[in-house]
Structure 1
């Protein structure tokens, strides 16, 4: 079968909430002692990676939320690391709250992004380093972060992670318009596009970026 390109269809806040709901189910089933294990091949442990995911959701919501979102830089929050080499974030989950607290932070930050994306005009634009984007684009970014970081976390937790294939296809069409989908399907193509795996005839990527700009614009990768 020849590689094909997916036709872009809308990515919605409902999609974001569905992916995170599935991610939370994986997290809730993990043994308490597993959270300090490395998240796949990342330098962060599973706890830090889920915390990073929550921070992504928060920052995407914050970027879209102002009446006039910035087009030339990020909303200027203070970023900090809890340890050398750890993720640099605005939001940190309190370790003493345990996994339930970490999950609550993820769910809360996801709810913020979904709410902002639902209420903002589709014409809203805001800065991202991978291209000025719209509410749908930031929603798709949150989904990709959840999909691939849960791939990392699930490897560390020793859990299975099976994301919705239709959502994978739609975020691929929205953010990775240059990536053809072959027989492997959209999920494997997304893992390849984000540098997680190699595919037949496609060496593993050592660097990558998505294109967050709305279709029909020239900005972005």
Structure 2
């Protein structure tokens, strides 16, 4: 078991797109009828969880997009729920388009976030409720949302999912700089987001990342 590197490279727009493609590759083989299953320990089903992820990507892109990004709140899009207890969001996928449509909605919004991360200057700052962030921070948030929600959906669908350790390592360094370094990066990321326990580290009842720039 190797400890995390001292200074991992920043999370990039390429990482956002790669994480989404890894997720979709893992999930595409699941039976279509299983997408109504509950996603892990969430209150949402697997389809809703992917919609939520697409909505995260959209909102992160939108925060960076204005010429003067907001520093004190979210861009005020209308939010709605399609059912009581479902995720409250702006982005919903057309059910009639089936899983290909759902995946396309996710890829489209991940592309928007990747484009914003690539084109905005590194000194750009925009609001997030866990800390005003730079483009690399929003990329890291897009990746962590993808990795952990892929875990939730994979549990609901009964398929295997484990992302690359190096990607997990860089996300941890950016968003959870105080996370333990005596376990492998993927279990540590699941611990940091309240999804498992680690030796000597009980499962977290509450958590949030720190999206403030590291420099």
Distance of 1:110 and 1:3 partners within structure 2? 30
Cα contact 1:3–1:180 (8 A) shared by 2: no
On the 8 A contact 2:137/2:213 being kept in 1, the answer is yes
- Cα deviation digits, residues 42-80 of structure 1 (max 9, x gap): 110000001100000000000000000000000000000
Distance 1:120 1:65 in 2: 8
The question of whether the paired residues in 1 share the 8 Å contact of 2:122 and 2:136 is answered with yes
Cα distance in 2 between the residues matched to 1:27 and 1:93: 17
Deviations 1:148-172 (CA, angstroms, capped at 9, x unpaired): 0000000001101020110100010
Aligned residues: 215
What residue ranges of structure 1 are gaps of 5+ in the alignment? 217-221
Q: 2:48 and 2:143 mapped to 1: Cα distance?
A: 18
Partner of 1:192: 191
Q: Which runs of 4+ in 1 moved over 2 A?
A: 1-8
1:213 paired to 2:196: no
Q: Deviations for 1:104-125, whole angstroms, at most 9, x for unmatched residues?
A: 0000000000011000000000
User: Against the structure 1 CA distance between its residues 6 and 146, is the aligned structure 2 distance closer, same or farther, given a 3 Å change threshold?
Assistant: farther
Q: Give the secondary-structure state (helix, strand or coil) at the position aligned to 2:79.
A: coil
Supply the distance in 2 between the matched residues of 1:2 and 1:164 (Cα, whole angstroms).
14
Shift of 1:95: 1.1
Are 1:69 and 2:69 counterparts? yes
Mapped contact 1:134–1:213 kept (Cα < 8 A): yes
> What SS does the corresponding residue of 1:180 show, helix, strand or coil?
coil
**Structure 2-normalised TM-score?**
0.97
Written as runs of structure 1 = structure 2, the 5 A alignment for 1:122-141 is 122-141=122-141
**In 2 relative to 1, CA 6–206 (structure 1 residues): closer, same or farther, beyond 3 Å?**
farther
Q: Hey, what does 2:12 align to over in structure 1?
A: 12
Query: What pairs with 1:149-168 in structure 2 (closer than 5 Å)?
Result: 149-168=149-168
Cα RMSD of the aligned pairs, angstroms, is 1.4
2-structure distance, mates of 1:3, 1:47 = 35
Q: Secondary structure at the match of 1:86?
A: coil
- Would you say the 8 A contact 2:113–2:139 is kept in 1? yes
